[in-house]
Amino acid sequence: MARALQQGSKQQLKVAYVVLPSVLSVSGLVCILVDAVGMGVGMLVGAVTFPFVMVWSLRRIAKRQLTHLCVPTVLRMTDDGYEYRTDQTTTTMRWSLFGRVVTGPEFWLFFVNRQCVAFLPRRAFNSEQQAEFDRFLASRQNPGLT
């Protein structure tokens, strides 16, 4: 589950992961060129450390969430959606809710807008069921959102 959260977060934050260090780098170089060396060096250091800090903070967040996710679970899937049930909660989600589905080697990641809101582990299904579910999702996927 930790890997699913990490993969979902990477997909969700892909732009920030690339854009922010790039902006900090360019801004740092501009500051150095206009003799604001201290600020420029600070921005360059921020550009280098940002990816490491981001990964560290995502791991901390995931660790806190895992205590709620790593419990015995019953999953019931239908043509309309799926139900995720534990002793503490029951969540029902319709397939139409998801604007994008990312199929990876370990998980299906489900997105609403740009946020990963759900995942299913592929290992919970045999290869025939995985192929059937991939076809099922492909038939419902909005081609404009992939």
CATH number of the domain that residue 109 is part of: 2.30.29
Contact criterion met (CB below 8 Å) for 111 and 117: yes
Per residue in 8-21, pLDDT tens?
666 666 677 778 88
Same domain, 103 and 127: yes
Residue-wise pLDDT for 56-108, tens only, equals 877 777 676 666 666 788 888 888 888 888 888 888 888 888 888 888 888 88
| Residue bearing the bigger pLDDT, 27 or 1 | 27
- Domain of residue 133 covers 74-145
Last residue within a domain, chosen from 22, 46, 69: 69
Q: Do 52 and 22 sit in the same domain of this protein?
A: yes
Our count of domains for the chain comes to 2
Do residues 64 and 9 share a domain? yes
- Going by C-beta distance under 8 Å and a sequence separation of 6 or more, which residues neighbour residue 48? 21
Residues found in the chain: 146
Enter the DSSP assignment of 18.
H
pLDDT at residue number 113: 86
Report residue 104 as tokens. 């990876």
What is the C-alpha separation between 21 and 10, in angstroms, rounded? 15
pLDDT reported for residue 112 = 87
pLDDT > 90 in the chain, percent: 21
- What are the start-end ranges of the E strands in the chain? 74-77, 81-85, 90-94, 100-103, 107-112, 115-121
Angle, helices 14-33 vs 37-69, to 10°: value is: 170
